[in-house]
Chain A
Amino acid sequence: MSQNIDQKEWLIQERAMDKPVLDNSAETRDELEGYRKVYQLLDDAPMSQPPSLLAEGIVKTVTKRKRKQRVIRIIMSALLFAMAIAGVFGLTVLLPQSALLTEVSQAAPWGLIICALIVTGLVGLSIRKLAQKI
């Protein structure tokens, strides 16, 4: 698209941003003055400004959000802790009753613990993902 540009005029537009103008023909001087006027008006124009309370409002919203996230994090931790406790209780209750679990726990007790930890971890990650979407 830049091929559509008149390079000479582009240079004039750019040079008009510099204050002192040297060795220019009358035609170029007029062009430069025209662009300089545009830039000066742009600088002086009463552009729309952000309201003074914008920053305050945003900071308040972010603080609220941080507080909400902290509460969610506490709830998540409590939930995970409760799940872990329930898991341990569940195992101690189920272990003597289930022949399969008894066999597994006797054959590979560490395997059972690792499986329980992986499941807890995966559930924890899912809860975290859900919390991020809230």
Chain B
Amino acid sequence: MNDLTLVKRVLSNEPGSFDELVRQYQKLVWHIISRLVQNQEDTLELSQEVFLQVYCKLGQYKGQSRLATWIGRIAYHFAVRFLQKQGRAIDESDAEVDEETKLEEEQAEFIQQHQLRTQILKAMEQLPLIQQTIVSLYHLEEMTLLEISQVCDLPQGTIKSHLYRARKRLKQLLQSKRESL
């Protein structure tokens, strides 16, 4: 269904329409918040707050972007504000401090993991929060670089760089695991 049609239905208080909107976008909101916040309880609470905000501000959505981008942006900012309040600022600088040493330590820990499916999750957890979010949005939510840059309020080049580094790192980590077996 067209984004604007769904928004109009919600704004005109059509029964079940908001329920439909929540069900359609809950995965997206959950992925963004859980990647950044890394705690199920906080993710649940923040997801509820995000949808309340979406409900209150839905009248401001004019269809300039996909509704997923608009909602994703709200979710991202909620999560970032939450992290800031907790003094856990998100590092958007793409800094790779002491990469080699870090990688070796991570590989050593990584070797402990045996389940193939959980390997990727472990590898994801070793990425900076921003990179985890970008990988989720690009590969799981199938958003474009432009849409992700709108969600995260970062230039497309930065998003591309984060994605490039994240995928490269994931590949390295998985390869090192395979070689160690």
Contact = CB atoms under 8 A, between A and B. Distances in A.
B171 interface: yes
B120 A58 contact: no
A6 B135 CA distance: 18
Main secondary structure of the interface of B (DSSP, over half): helix
Interface of A is mostly: helix
A9 interface: yes
A117 to B, nearest CB: 27
Contacts of A61: 48, 52
Nearest to A10: B164
A77 to B, nearest CB: 19
A49 B19 contact: no
A67 interface: no
A5 B161 contact: yes
Interface in B77-133: 94, 116-121, 124
Contacts of B29: 50
Given A1-B158, A50-B26, A59 B47 contact: no
Contacts of A4: 94, 161
Measured as residues with beta carbon below 8 angstroms from the partner, the interface class of chain A is: 20 to 34
Interface residues of B, number: 44
A50 B27 CA distance: 6
Interface string B155-176: 1111011011001101100110
Interface string B9-46: 00000000011001100110111001000001001100
Contacts of A100: none
A46 interface: yes
B117 A45 contact: yes
B76 interface: no
B117 A38 contact: no
Given A34-B175, A48-B30, A62 B55 contact: yes
A15 interface: no
Interface string B133-147: 001100110000000
A42 B122 CA distance: 11
Nearest to A57: B48
B52 A2 contact: no
Contacts of A57: 48
A42 B18 contact: no
8 contacts: A42-B120, A42-B135, A43-B140, A45-B118, A45-B121, A46-B121, A48-B34, A54-B26
Interface of A: 1-6, 9-10, 13, 34-35, 37-39, 41-51, 54-55, 57-59, 61-62, 65
Given A2-B156, A41-B174, A42-B135, 15 more contacts: A1-B94, A3-B157, A13-B168, A41-B116, A43-B140, A45-B118, A45-B121, A47-B140, A48-B31, A49-B27, A50-B30, A54-B44, A54-B48, A55-B19, A58-B22
